[in-house]
Amino acid sequence: MTDPRPPAASGADRASGAYGSGPSGETPHAAPGDVASGDARKLDPLGGTRPRRVVVASPRTRVARSVPPPDEDEPYAGPYSGTGWNIATDLDEQTELGAVFARTLIRAQFRTALGTGALVLGVIALLPLLAFVPGGTHAGPIGLPFPWLVLAAGIQPLWIFAARRQARLAESAERDFARLVGRP
C-alpha cells in the first residue's frame, strides 16, 4: 500500500477520511504511472472511455517513486524514518483510516470464527438424532454399539479438523494484513 503524500502530512490531516476513500487507497503498491492515470480517470468530468493523460508535476510523484518495493527484506525503523508513509502509521495514530483497516480485519476474523462456531453448534444440535439410527442397538464390528462408536471416536476427528482449519485461516488473515500494512 502506497500513498503519494508527503511524509510530513500530520495525523490530523489524514483523520478527515477523505484520503481513505480515494482511488489510491484501493490500489495496493501502485506505480507512479498508475496513480497518474487513476487521477486522470477520476478528473474526467464526462466519464469517457479514453482517460486523458495528465502530467503530475509535484513532490508527490517523487515520494511515490521512492517507496521501496514491498518485499524488500529490511527491518522496520519507525513510521517516518524511511522514504514513504504506510498504513501502519495510521494504525499507530488511531486515525479514522487506521480504524477502518483494523475493523476490516476484525470483521474478517469474526466471519471465520462464526463459520467454525456454526459448524460446532450444528454438529452438537444434530447429536440427539443418533437415537433414530435404525439398528443402533446392535453390536458393531468390535462388539460395541454403533452410536457408541460414533460418539467415542466418530465426532472427534471433525473437531480436530475444525480447530486446525480455524487456526490456519485466522493466521493467514493476519499474515495478509501484516503484509498489507507493510509490517510483515
Partner 1 sequence: MTGVAVAVALSVLTLVAASVGFGSFGRRAAATATDLMVASRGVTSLWNASAISSEYISAAAFLGTAGLVLAYGTDTLWLPVAATGGFVLLVAFVTAPLRRSGAYTISDFAEWRLGSAGVRRTVSACVCFIGWFYLLPQFQGAGVTLRVLTGAPVWAGWVLVVAVVLSLTLSGGMRSITDVQAVQFWVKLVAVAVPAAALLVLWRLDGAGTPEGPPVFGHATTIRVQTESAVRVTAPTAVTVRGTLDGARHDGERVVLSARDHRVGAGAELVFPRGAAVPHAARLPSHTGGVWAMPSERGRDHSLYITYSALLAVLLGTMGLPHILMRFYTNTCGRAARRTAALVPALLSLFYVFPALYGTLGRLYTPELLMTGDTDATILTLPRRLAPGLPGSLLVGLVAAGAFAAFISTTCGVVVAIAGTISQCVLRGGTGSFRAGAVFALAVPLCVAWTAGTQNAAGLVTLALTVSACSLCPMLLLGLWWRRLTPLGAGVGVVFGGGLAVVAGVAGLFLGPRHGWTAALLAQPALVLAPAAFAVMVGVSLAFRRSVPPRADRALARMHLPEEVVLR
Q: Which amino acid is at 10?
A: S
Binding mask 53-92 for partner 1 (x = CB under 8 A): -----------------------------------x--xx
Asked whether position 16 contacts partner 1 by CB under 8 A, the answer is: no
Q: What is the grid cell recorded at 158?
A: 471433525
Q: What is the distance between the alpha carbons of residues 63 and 24, in angstroms, rounded to a whole number?
A: 14
Q: What is the distance between the alpha carbons of residues 60 and 46, in angstroms, rounded to a whole number?
A: 26
CB-based contact 179:87 (threshold 8 Å): no
Q: How far is the CB of 67 from partner 1 (least distance, A)?
A: 18
All residues at 6 or more sequence positions from 77 whose CB lies less than 8 Å from its CB, including other chains = none
Residues 100-129 that bind partner 1 (CB under 8 A): 102, 105-106, 109-110, 112-113, 116-117, 120-121, 123-125, 127-128
Asked whether position 40 contacts partner 1 by CB under 8 A, the answer is: no
Q: How far is the CB of 21 from partner 1 (least distance, A)?
A: 19
The nearer residue to partner 1, 65 or 179, going by C-beta atoms, is: 179
One of 28, 29, 151, 172 touching partner 1 (CB under 8 A): 151
Asked whether position 172 contacts partner 1 by CB under 8 A, the answer is: no
Residue 150, Cα to own-chain centre: how many angstroms? Answer: 38
Asked whether position 153 contacts partner 1 by CB under 8 A, the answer is: yes
Asked whether position 162 contacts partner 1 by CB under 8 A, the answer is: yes
The nearer residue to partner 1, 41 or 179, going by C-beta atoms, is: 179
Q: What is the distance between the alpha carbons of residues 154 and 140, in angstroms, rounded to a whole number?
A: 14
At CA 38, angle to CA 25 and CA 11, rounded to 5? 30
Instruction: Enumerate binding residues for partner 1 (CB under 8 A).
Output: 88, 91-92, 94, 98-99, 102, 105-106, 109-110, 112-113, 116-117, 120-121, 123-125, 127-128, 130-131, 136-139, 143-145, 147-148, 151-153, 155-157, 159-160, 162-164, 166-167, 170-171, 174-175, 177-178, 181, 183-184
